[in-house]
Structure 1
């Protein structure tokens, strides 16, 4: 939109323009050349569609977040994590236009003294999304998080802990403690995580009707999450609804679990794992798992490690990337590769095996026994 420059009686130069809403804004300069440069810059952003009203950036970071967050399609746990991330910044009361990259770097530095790199990245991504939304809303012209370095994370292969077969066996043996009645039935839960790769909330959300004992299949269609003082059933993480093909031994274990711990002929919507009148979830699972691994003498094993155990077993058996992706419910094969690529045989491994096979064949064909056999023929 066109602007104008005029000299005022006091000798200063007034540059004015109308923004994309039709409102007139002006600024005064001691020199005409400065007024021209500023007006050229403003009008260029107006024509390019990148104009930002200078008054918009006066809103503080916290105020912008408070108005933006309720519009996001988040489940309660995501909103809770976002609130934690935003609450940890030291610039919440600063105007958006006053926040610089140095503020972000100071915040990241402070977090690095307390939190693991993965936690820092999670919080950083949330805060970055707030600034990106502000740029998209033309509250600020640039995202101050661009270029900020985060603490280096350990390589996946170094950070991942995969239990051995013997360790998983010990966990199963101690999951159904005969001395602790409240852990009765937990063995089937552990088995679902270890031999079907279910996440914590997915295993908690299994209902009797999800299991097809004839086809030996399990439909993963929900997960249980804490929602205030109770629970909520939601779609699995990243919409990873799927059908898991169960091994025969796991099918038998689940059948025995239903017969022993559920009422006779339970309805299809009956929870597979219960505590009192409701499903077992969140803290109910956590303390049972801690008790199980302590009893098994494996206090370092995390529940999610059983999912890694399942994935590593599929890969060791020769399953391809897509098969593993579907079994785990990953959103894409890229996610599977980013997590487990180090478990697949490398090109060097395949080359050695192929060359080894060729060499064995060649040696057998030239052995004295092979030559005498050909002469007799």
Structure 2
């Protein structure tokens, strides 16, 4: 007799696993909704597992299934935080529930293509970035399967992914930043805004700084932690990439901000009124959001302070390699691709060089 095991995950979503035995082995199939799970269980009991699976378009070949491989892949992935691992499990149990019942060897390029079309047709339609993230997870798992000799090749290779328009970066001029900064009446928020624009640090890096990370005498800051989404909420982890662990030099304005904030004696350089590390939503609601209304036409995001810092450095003819290291980009290509349009002086110099050659 088949049975159903239902459980509710920490994010509030439910899953229903139908369990049965076949040829002396425990078998299972997972469903997101209870009604399909009940129909499948009834078919297993009435028709047998082979016929029940064939109704779903699945054959019970006894081979390693995609779900089983994804589980093994997720559990063995090194270098990721628990929050990322939980996201991958949600992809497996929700977005890949149907494909997961197929044998790993049955996943083809056409299978992946149909899956992508289903994602793009969902209501509400997920963003292009969300679809790319889910495809990247599946592709990584299938690449690992190919390396392990479980399949011949990665069927995700060469798939076309839908894209959405990325919002344009906003680069603030000094007067524009001064307007917003002057509108921030609460000192901790004003100091944090000045820190972000003067250092170019990511918000999660800046708010994870401990006083010991800053050397006021040398005017340097060691970036080695960032806030991540963990099993029970925010937790400290490594920054975004390997090169994001870095030591940066601080301008005098940032040194003064650090001197003021370290004097508060908190565990972190930037803390809220309760002495806890600042959260982005609080900073936006109480400080940045109201203040940026002075530039309503631009509506800069918090992350645009990082873009602004980069644009100011490039505008001052700081070498792109130096800018890349300062920002903690994994590869200089990222910096070039992101900010090359800002460096108009280099572009003008390149055009002038060609003009002189032809002249």
Contact map agreement 1:161 1:305 (CA 8 A) in 2: yes
1:160 aligns with 2:169: yes
Unaligned runs of at least 5 residues, structure 1: 1-54, 178-183, 358-377
Aligned-residue offset at 1:136 = 1.9
Describe the shift of the 1:273–1:97 C-alpha distance in structure 2 as closer, same or farther (beyond 3 A). Answer: same
Contact map agreement 1:65 1:130 (CA 8 A) in 2: yes
Superposed, 1:210-359 pairs within 5 Å as 210-239=213-242, 240-259=244-263, 262-263=264-265, 270-275=267-272, 279-281=276-278, 284-296=279-291, 297=293, 300-345=299-344, 348-351=347-350
Superposed, 1:68-147 pairs within 5 Å as 68-73=73-78, 74-86=80-92, 87-89=94-96, 90-113=98-121, 114-147=125-158
Contact map agreement 1:57 1:97 (CA 8 A) in 2: no
Distance across 2 between alignment mates of 1:112 and 1:174: 42
Greater CA drift, 272-281 or 194-203: 272-281
Aligned-residue offset at 1:99 = 2.1
Per-residue deviation, residues 153-212 of structure 1 (Å, max 9, x unmatched): 54x7x73333343443233234443xxxxxx51222222221101112111111112222
Contact map agreement 2:205 2:223 (CA 8 A) in 1: yes
Per-residue deviation, residues 59-103 of structure 1 (Å, max 9, x unmatched): 221221112211111112322332343332341222212222222
Describe the shift of the 1:220–1:230 C-alpha distance in structure 2 as closer, same or farther (beyond 3 A). Answer: same
2:196 alignment partner, one of 193, 197, 202: 193
1:173 aligns with 2:176: no
Aligned-residue offset at 1:56 = 9.2
How many residue pairs end up in the alignment?
A: 287
SS of the aligned residue for 1:224 comes to: strand
Describe the shift of the 1:346–1:256 C-alpha distance in structure 2 as closer, same or farther (beyond 3 A). Answer: closer
Describe the shift of the 1:75–1:229 C-alpha distance in structure 2 as closer, same or farther (beyond 3 A). Answer: closer
Aligned-residue offset at 1:355 = 9.3
Contact map agreement 1:293 1:301 (CA 8 A) in 2: no
Describe the shift of the 1:231–1:147 C-alpha distance in structure 2 as closer, same or farther (beyond 3 A). Answer: closer
Query: Normalised by the size of structure 1, how large is the TM-score?
Result: 0.67
Distance across 1 between alignment mates of 2:346 and 2:315: 15
SS of the aligned residue for 1:128 comes to: helix
Contact map agreement 1:56 1:139 (CA 8 A) in 2: no
Greater CA drift, 320-329 or 106-115: 106-115
Distance across 2 between alignment mates of 1:256 and 1:100: 59
Unaligned runs of at least 5 residues, structure 2: 1-59
SS of the aligned residue for 1:91 comes to: helix
Provide the aligned C-alpha RMSD in A. Answer: 3.0
SS of the aligned residue for 2:100 comes to: coil
1:151 aligns with 2:162: yes
Match of 1:205 in 2: 208
Match of 2:66 in 1: 61
Match of 2:54 in 1: none
Distance across 2 between alignment mates of 1:143 and 1:303: 38
Describe the shift of the 1:57–1:149 C-alpha distance in structure 2 as closer, same or farther (beyond 3 A). Answer: farther
Aligned-residue offset at 1:353 = 5.7
Per-residue deviation, residues 262-302 of structure 1 (Å, max 9, x unmatched): 14xx7xxx311224666415xx2223213323312157422
